[in-house]
Amino acid sequence: MSELPIRFIGHPMIDVGVATLCAAAGVDDPRDLTSEAIDAFTQEVIELYLNPAMAGFLSYVVFAGARFANPAQLKPEFEDKRRAILSELVNLWKPDAPPSKYEKPIAPGETCIFSGDAAKVRVSRMYIPLTTDENKMNFVPEGVPLMPISGWCLLALMAMPMGGLASRGKIWIVHSFDNAATLHFARLNLQRNRRDFQIQGLNKRPNYKFARTYVLRDLAEAQRFNAGNYPLTTYFFTSSGQKSEIEITHLPSPVIRFINRANREAPAAWNRIVRRAEHLNADPENEDGRIVYTERNYLYEDLFNLPANAHAFLRRYILRTPLSGKPSGEGKNDPRYTYSSAGEAELVSWTLTDLFLEEVLQMEKDRIEAIRAVADRLANYIQTQDERLFRDLFNARNEYQLRTLLIKADKNAQPPLFTLDEFVEAFFTTTDKETLRSDWSLARDLMVIRIIEKLYEGGKIEIVQEAAVEDDVIAEAE
């Protein structure tokens, strides 16, 4: 095992940098890093960061006005100095590294603001994103400008951009308190960045316009960690001197577990709805010498809005309710405008619904089973006795209408469609068995999902299709 101080510490930028170092060295644990492997990677980084295509991005987005990436000095006559500055930065982690020629020295006994280890230099937002410049002392505990940092944490920050994606003028990194997860995403992003900089004539760092799509694709490929034990957090930021900003987005553990179980327990159904959510005609574009990857998956992006928008997600992707209105602009390539419960009945899956209810909504098992049982009997009743009931159920706009339809159908059916306990469990609150739940429309949609699946399995999907034709379009509930 290595005795190097490099380790995961829980800070997203440092951890992504450490993960990138591990990915470059082909190891899963920073304790297995060697000085030789780090040196090999830092040589690669030096050459790449001196490239004007990368230097411009780093200076404007990650390291505000960094000395080695100053846009005014991206000329051959300054390359030696830029190389010397960059070489010093990535080698200050070494125990025998001489004092810095370019950065402010530390005071005796100063410790790193990230790791608590002995600090090596004091630096500003030039190398610590989203902090203050070289002159201001605001928010600096020591009451003097600049912040103390250890050599290895500075190295991790310098490596971090290679473990993230450039997206719409910002950088996107993925972090988890499961270190193997952080490593997984950094490894795949490092592969992308290395591949991109093999492209001849590259003037600017390629733009991954819809980075969330790549995060979810990468999650689907995860095998080296137990995804779902910890949430993922994405950091989308710019450390520009003109306007620094950050957007922090969480992908909760229950959502990750749903994705993993869907891939494992219903792969055919899940993969079909994922493929149907792909942005159409998403070929790479070239904008002023920059490659723009426009691949986008709307389902993947909407997963980041869970569980808050769970009902809307379920209606859109499992019940196949289309977006309303007419597409325009980028919307012309949005497949969600073409979704159809009637035309895509083969994509309506109770198995996925069950997983979604259990993991994302954490609905009680008894209620899920009650809704399924009632829906199964309604599906049989619709096929044999009252086909119009399907359309009426789907378009029920208030709780009174829904309750009336169900009671009438139960009264007309022989034998009855459901027991009192099933009816109460599915639709009524547990505290007041005379009051419908506030999510009655969710219960209605769940029934419709199961009914469509049963009609499709029974060869009676024309009932759904005829209802759609009769209404011109199956309206999306308010």
What confidence tier does 413 reach under pLDDT thresholds 50, 70, 90?
A: confident
pLDDT tens by residue, 419-430: 888 888 887 766
User: In 10 A of CB 315, how many CB atoms?
Assistant: 22
More reliable by pLDDT, 159 or 417: 159
Residues 122 and 132: beta-carbon distance below 8 Å: no
What confidence tier does 281 reach under pLDDT thresholds 50, 70, 90?
A: confident
pLDDT above 70: percentage of residues in the chain: 91
d(CA 433, CA 352) in angstroms, rounded, equals 29
Say whether pLDDT at 297 is over 90: yes
d(CA 411, CA 210) in angstroms, rounded, equals 52
Least confident of 59-68, 128-137, 360-369, 436-445: 128-137
Q: Which two tokens stand for residue 90?
A: 């990535």
DSSP code of residue 428: B
Residue 65: per-residue pLDDT: 85
CB burial string 38-68: b at 16+ within 10 A, e below: beebbeebbebbbeebbbbbbbbbbbbbbbb
Average pLDDT over residues 341-368: 93
Least confident of 39-43, 102-106, 110-114, 138-142: 138-142
Of 149, 280, 297, 102, the closest CA to residue 219 belongs to: 297
Average pLDDT over residues 305-321: 95
Residue 440: per-residue pLDDT: 80
pLDDT above 90: percentage of residues in the chain: 61
Say whether pLDDT at 41 is over 80: yes
Is the backbone peptide bond immediately before 307 cis, with ω within 30 degrees of 0?
yes
Say whether pLDDT at 471 is over 70: no
Residue 319: per-residue pLDDT: 94
Residue 473: per-residue pLDDT: 45
Which residue pairs, CB below 8 angstroms and at least 24 apart, start in 421-428? 421/370, 422/370, 422/373, 422/374, 423/370, 423/374, 425/366, 425/367, 425/370, 426/367, 426/370, 426/371, 426/374, 427/402, 427/403
DSSP for 164-203 reads SEEETTEEEEEE-SSHHHHHHHHHHHHHHHHHHTTSTT--
Residues 469 and 343: beta-carbon distance below 8 Å: no
Average pLDDT over residues 253-273: 93
What confidence tier does 141 reach under pLDDT thresholds 50, 70, 90?
A: low
Say whether pLDDT at 258 is over 90: yes
Q: Which two tokens stand for residue 349?
A: 């899956």
Average pLDDT over residues 385-392: 90
Q: Which amino acid is at 175?
A: H
| Angle (deg, nearest 10), helices 365-384 and 420-427 | 110
Average pLDDT over residues 281-305: 87
DSSP for 29-64 reads SGGG--HHHHHHHHHHHHHHHHSHHHHHHIIIIIST
Average pLDDT of the residues of the chain: 88
pLDDT tens by residue, 61-118: 999 889 999 888 888 889 999 999 999 999 999 999 999 999 999 989 999 999 999 9
Q: What is the dihedral sign for C-alpha 273, 274, 277, 278?
A: negative
Strands 290-293 and 207-208: parallel
Say whether pLDDT at 474 is over 50: no
Residues 245 and 237: beta-carbon distance below 8 Å: yes
Phi, psi of 207 (to 5 degrees): -105, 115
The three-class DSSP label of residue 234 is: strand
Residue 68: per-residue pLDDT: 92
Strands 232-239 and 244-251: antiparallel
Contacts of 394 (CB under 8 A, 6+ apart): 341, 444, 448, 467, 474
Question: Domain boundaries in the chain?
Answer: 12-207+232-239, 364-471
What confidence tier does 223 reach under pLDDT thresholds 50, 70, 90?
A: low
d(CA 354, CA 357) in angstroms, rounded, equals 5
Contacts of 75 (CB under 8 A, 6+ apart): none
Residue 71: per-residue pLDDT: 83
Residue 476: per-residue pLDDT: 44
Residues 112 and 118: beta-carbon distance below 8 Å: yes
Q: What is the dihedral sign for C-alpha 263, 266, 268, 273?
A: negative
The three-class DSSP label of residue 396 is: coil
